[in-house]
């Protein structure tokens, strides 16, 4: 049997809601800055041991549901073919090179240029000494792929990353074996579950401009392939096409863990998740707008704040974050971003039910980053997106107040972030 991964057939897009799916599984693009920062946020909140366990479990679950949808559509029949599909798709999504040498009872997997470990080493390797492994996502994929390949229920096997490039090893190695503890069953949060929650979509101001740029950028993203390492390097960052469920499950599981064990720190945890959104907006949005690709598509940034806000809305849509619309804007004072749903809120309602307050943390942090990029970055000077620039924008006294006034997670018809200037 010939394995066929027909990207065009497996990929689908809901244009009115700007959600992307691969094999009916919600997917989004994120860069390594956000990926590393969010993982670090979970590490800080739970401690590295518990965090690695949680992140590995979440990746295991997310990849199990994903591969269960994907593999039957590729023509793969034998376990070897199914494992091969998992390896190919993992690299095609920009996660690096994973090799699975596993049987039904487990075995070894190896990783080279794995997105998390490799980019951690690139970004922090010379400055920071890491003490725990970095590749929970690859570990989760490896164990899930083995279970799917051998028709095993989720949680039959367990995985541990034994060596990691982020710890100085030449290669990442994963040991997979029979699970000692059962994994609680879970339902997938796929396209069907997401669509069930979506109400009517809507547009906002500057819709024609946002739509045109978003369409061009999304089409361009569709043409980008990973390199021979299984990495996607573009816009000055390493890009992944990632399972939205992974981001959501690590974020909300950590958040509710904190709520149970240290309720006084709940708000702090929310702030940390929002800060991860700042990282995303600053690095990914900033990197895209500063890139030649953007210049060819939308023109060189002129320094007009509105132009940046329009551009960021288009980027949010193209990355699969949701139908970001501008509802109100007064320069230097007020900005309202509204969406009929985000990849965070639709997941939250499906998995955790209704919340008492907004749960779109990436959305909140990303919106503040948009406003800062629009008003505080001198685009004419062609800035470098350095840690120093990040600190100058996001540390120190807050100049803006951000509030999620509406959220699908708390039963509203849409998600809305209001950013308002504080003081002068």
Binding site for another protein (CB under 8 A): 122-123, 220, 223, 233, 235-237, 286-287, 290-293, 295-297, 299-300, 382-385
Nearest by Cα to 320 from 247, 414, 233:
247
Structure tokens at 409: 């997670």
Q: In whole angstroms, give the CA distance from residue 271 to residue 292.
A: 33
Specify the residue for token string 């007020």: 334
CB of 380 to another protein, least distance (A): 12
Q: In whole angstroms, give the CA distance from residue 424 to residue 422.
A: 7
Q: Which is nearer to another protein, 113 or 343 (CB)?
A: 113
Q: In whole angstroms, give the CA distance from residue 21 to residue 348.
A: 17
Q: In whole angstroms, give the CA distance from residue 353 to residue 339.
A: 19
CB of 384 to another protein, least distance (A): 5
Strand order in the sheet with 325-330: 325-330, 334-339, 415-421, 400-406
Judged by DSSP in three states, 55 sits in: helix
CB of 288 to another protein, least distance (A): 9
φ/ψ bin of 86: left (φ > 0), alpha (ψ from -120 to 50), beta (otherwise)? alpha
CB of 373 to another protein, least distance (A): 12
Structure tokens at 152: 């095993």
φ/ψ bin of 237: left (φ > 0), alpha (ψ from -120 to 50), beta (otherwise)? beta
Q: Which is nearer to another protein, 122 or 413 (CB)?
A: 122
Q: Which is nearer to another protein, 29 or 64 (CB)?
A: 29
Backbone angles phi, psi at 416, to 5 degrees: -140, 130
Q: Which is nearer to another protein, 65 or 115 (CB)?
A: 115
E runs forming strands in 248-362: 325-330, 334-339
CB of 196 to another protein, least distance (A): 36
Q: In whole angstroms, give the CA distance from residue 404 to residue 64.
A: 32
φ/ψ bin of 382: left (φ > 0), alpha (ψ from -120 to 50), beta (otherwise)? left
Beta-ladder partners of 21: 12, 26
CB of 324 to another protein, least distance (A): 22
CA distances from 191 to 66, 185, 338 (A): 11, 19, 21
Q: Which is nearer to another protein, 111 or 286 (CB)?
A: 286
CB of 128 to another protein, least distance (A): 16
Specify the residue for token string 């509406």: 406
CB of 287 to another protein, least distance (A): 4
Q: Which is nearer to another protein, 231 or 326 (CB)?
A: 231
Q: Which is nearer to another protein, 77 or 122 (CB)?
A: 122
CB of 226 to another protein, least distance (A): 13
CB of 212 to another protein, least distance (A): 13
Q: Which is nearer to another protein, 63 or 238 (CB)?
A: 238
Q: Which is nearer to another protein, 233 or 399 (CB)?
A: 233
Q: Which is nearer to another protein, 200 or 228 (CB)?
A: 228
Strand order in the sheet with 11-14: 11-14, 19-22, 25-31, 237-243, 232-234
């Amino acid at each position: 049997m010939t394995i066929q991964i027909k990207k065009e057939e497996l990929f689908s897009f809901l244009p009115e809601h700007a959600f992307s799916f691969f094999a009916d599984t919600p997917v989004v693009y994120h860069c390594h800055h956000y990926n590393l920062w969010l993982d670090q946020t979970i590490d800080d909140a739970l401690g590295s041991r518990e965090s690695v366990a949680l992140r590995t479990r979440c990746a295991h679950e997310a990849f199990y549901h994903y591969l269960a949808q994907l593999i039957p559509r590729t023509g793969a029949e034998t376990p070897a073919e199914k494992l091969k599909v998992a390896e190919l798709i993992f690299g095609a999504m920009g996660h690096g090179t994973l090799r699975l040498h596993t049987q039904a009872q487990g075995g070894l997997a190896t990783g080279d240029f794995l997105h998390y470990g490799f980019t951690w080493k690139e970004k922090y390797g010379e400055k920071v000494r890491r003490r725990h492994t970095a590749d929970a996502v690859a570990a989760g994929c490896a164990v899930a792929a083995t279970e799917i390949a051998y028709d095993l229920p989720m949680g039959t096997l367990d995985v541990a990353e034994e060596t990691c490039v982020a710890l100085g090893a030449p290669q990442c190695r994963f040991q997979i074996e029979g699970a000692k503890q059962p994994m609680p069953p879970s339902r997938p949060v796929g396209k069907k579950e997401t669509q069930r929650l979506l109400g009517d979509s809507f547009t906002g101001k500057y819709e024609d401009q946002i739509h045109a740029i978003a369409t061009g950028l999304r089409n361009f993203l569709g043409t980008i392939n990973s390199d021979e390492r299984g990495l996607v390097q573009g816009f000055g960052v390493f890009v992944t096409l990632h399972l939205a469920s992974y981001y959501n499950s690590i974020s909300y599981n950590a958040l509710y863990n904190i709520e149970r064990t240290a309720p006084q720190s709940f708000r702090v945890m929310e702030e940390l998740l929002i800060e991860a959104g700042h990282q995303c907006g600053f690095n990914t949005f900033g990197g895209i707008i500063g890139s030649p690709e953007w210049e060819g598509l939308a023109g060189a940034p002129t320094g007009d704040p509105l132009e940046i806000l329009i551009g960021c809305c288009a980027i949010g849509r193209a990355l699969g974050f949701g139908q970001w619309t501008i509802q109100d804007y007064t320069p230097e004072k007020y900005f309202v971003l509204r969406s009929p749903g985000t990849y965070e809120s639709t997941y939250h309602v499906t998995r955790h039910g209704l919340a008492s307050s907004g749960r779109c943390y990436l959305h909140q942090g990303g919106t503040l980053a948009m406003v800062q990029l629009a008003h505080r970055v001198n685009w004419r000077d062609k800035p470098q997106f350095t840690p120093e620039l990040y600190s100058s924008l996001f540390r120190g006294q807050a100049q803006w107040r951000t509030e999620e006034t509406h959220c699908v997670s708390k039963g509203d018809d849409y998600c809305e972030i209001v950013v308002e200037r504080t003081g002068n």
